[in-house]
Amino acid sequence: MQTRSIYLHDVIIAGAGPVGLFLACELQLAGRSVLVLERAQDPHSALKQLPFGLRGLSIPTTEAFHRRGLLDEIVAAQRAKSAAIKSAAHWMQQARKPAGHFAGIQFFEDDIDAAQLLWRLPTPADASVAVDMETLETVLAARAGSLGVDIRRGFGVTAIAASDDDVTVEAAGETFRGCWLAGCDGGRSTVRKACGFDVVGTAPEFTGYSVVVELADPEKLKPGRNYTATGMYTFAQPGTIAMVDFDGGAFHRTAPITRAHVQEVLRRVSCTDVTINTLLIAATWTDRARQATTYRNGRVLLAGDAAHTHSPLGGQGLNLGLGDAMNLGWKLAATIRGRAPANLLDSYSQERHPVGAQILDWSRAQVAIMRPTPATRALQAIIRDLIATGDGATYFAERIRGVALRYDLGGRHPLIGRSVPDFELADDTTAGALLRPAKGLLLDFDRRAPLRALASRWDIRIDYVAGEPKERLGLSAVLVRPDGVVAWASDGAVDDEDAARAASRWFGEPTARQFS
**pLDDT digit string (tens) for 150-171?**
999 999 999 999 999 999 999 9
| DSSP reduced 3-state for 300 | strand
Q: Can you give the pLDDT at residue 516?
A: 34
pLDDT band, residue 513 (cuts 50/70/90): very low
Tell me the C-alpha distance between 467 and 463, whole Å.
13
Greatest distance between any 2 Cα atoms in the chain: 78
Distance (Å) of CA 26 to CA 126, 328, 333, 512: 22, 9, 8, 27
Domain co-membership, 218 together with 134: no
Same domain, 393 and 412: no
Q: Is residue 52 part of a domain?
A: yes
Q: Strand pairing partners for 442?
A: 464, 479
| Domain boundary, last residue among 401, 422, 448 | 401
Q: Does the structure show a pLDDT above 90 at 481? A: yes
Burial class (CB in 10 A: 0-12, 13-18, 19+), 80: exposed
Alpha-carbon distance 477 to 486, whole Å?
11
Cβ neighbours, 10 Å, residue 346: 13
Q: Is residue 430 part of a domain?
A: yes
User: What average pLDDT does the segment 283-298 reach?
Assistant: 96
pLDDT single digits (tens) 174-184: 999 999 999 99
Question: Would you say 453 and 462 are in contact if contact means Cβ atoms under 8 Å apart?
Answer: no
CATH number for position 215:
3.30.70.2450
For residue range 70-117, what is the model confidence (pLDDT) as tens digits? 999 999 988 877 766 666 665 556 678 888 899 989 999 999 998 888
Check pLDDT > 60 for residue 124.
yes
Q: Cβ(180)–Cβ(299) under 8 Å?
A: yes
Instruction: Specify the DSSP class assigned to residue 419.
Output: B
pLDDT (tens digit per residue) in 218-239: 999 999 889 999 999 999 989 9
Higher pLDDT, 422 or 84: 422
Task: Give CA–CA dist 104/112, Å, rounded.
Answer: 18
Assess contact for 495 and 503: CB atoms under 8 A.
no
Into how many domains does the chain fold?
3
Give CA separation, 306 vs 34, 323, 324, 398, 515, in Å. Answer: 19, 14, 11, 26, 42
The angle at the Cα of 321, spanning 208 to 167, to the nearest 5 degrees, equals 115
Using pLDDT thresholds of 50, 70 and 90, give the confidence band for residue 412.
confident
Q: Which of 199, 422, 387 minimizes the C-alpha distance to 295?
A: 199
Distance of alpha carbon 108 from alpha carbon 387, whole angstroms: 9
Most confident of 19-28, 102-111, 453-462: 19-28
Q: Which residues, 6+ apart, have CB-to-CB distance to 118 below 8 Å? A: 414
Under 8 Å between Cβ of 273 and 247: no
pLDDT > 60? residue 2: no
Average pLDDT over residues 127-136: 90
In the predicted model, is pLDDT for residue 24 greater than 60?
yes
Cα separation of 305 and 322, whole Å?
A: 10
158: Cα within 13 Å, side-chain hemisphere:
11
Distance CA 301, CA 13 (A): 9
In what side-by-side order are the strands of the sheet with 199-202?
199-202, 289-292, 308-309
Domain-embedded: residue 359: yes
Say if residue 20's pLDDT is above 50: yes
Structural contact between residues 415 and 489, judged by C-beta atoms closer than 8 angstroms = yes
**pLDDT confidence of residue 5:** 57
Q: 332, 353, 2: which is closest to 178 by C-alpha?
A: 332
Residues 384, 282 within the same domain: no
Section 296-313 average pLDDT: 95
338 and 478 in a single domain? The answer is no
Residue 414, Ramachandran bin (φ over 0: left; ψ between -120 and 50: alpha; else beta): alpha
pLDDT at 49 over 50: yes
Tell me the average pLDDT of the chain. Answer: 92
Using alpha carbons, select from 265, 332, 273, 327 the residue that is nearest to residue 300. Answer: 332
Average the pLDDT over each of 5-19, 265-279, 425-439 and give the range with the smallest value.
Answer: 5-19
State how far the Cα of 446 lies from the Cα of 396, in Å rounded to an integer: 37
Query: What's the whole-number mean pLDDT along residues 15-39?
Result: 97
Using omega within 30 degrees of 0 as the cis cutoff, is the peptide bond preceding 437 cis? no
Q: Which domain holds residue 144?
A: 6-200+290-401
Which of 286, 314, 349 lies at the terminal end of a domain, its last residue? 286
User: Any bridge partners for residue 301, and if so which?
Assistant: 182, 296
Does 186 share its domain with 328? yes
Check whether residue 295 and residue 281 sit in a common domain.
Answer: no
Taking only Cα atoms into account, the Rg of the chain, rounded to an integer number of angstroms, comes to 24
Is the confidence at residue 515, as pLDDT, over 50? Answer: no
Minimal CA–CA distance to 180: which of 354, 30, 350, 355?
Answer: 30
CA distances from 185 to 10, 67, 155, 193, 428 (A): 18, 25, 12, 11, 40
Q: 500 falls in which pLDDT band (50, 70, 90)?
A: very high
- Same-domain status, 12 and 151: yes
List the CATH number of the domain containing 166: 3.50.50.60
Q: Are 503 and 365 within one domain?
A: no
Which of 107, 125, 100, 485 has its CA nearest to residue 331? 485
Residue 108 lies in a domain: yes
The 3-class SS string of 152-164 reads: EECCCEEEEEECC
pLDDT of residue 474: 94
- The bridge status of strand 6-14 relative to strand 34-38 is parallel
Residues 414 and 473 occupy one common structural domain: yes
CA distance linking residue 451 with residue 243, whole number of Å: 57
Which of 351, 383, 401 marks a domain boundary?
Answer: 401
Q: Which of these, 199, 151, 187, 192, lies nearest to 13 by C-alpha position? A: 151
Q: Do 429 and 492 share a domain, yes or no?
A: yes
Identity at 219, one-letter amino acid code = E
What CATH number corresponds to the domain at position 467?
3.40.30.120
Q: Are residues 73 and 165 in the same domain?
A: yes
Q: Is residue 1 part of a domain?
A: no
CB atoms within 10 A of CB 277: 12
Is the domain of 253 the same as that of 318?
no
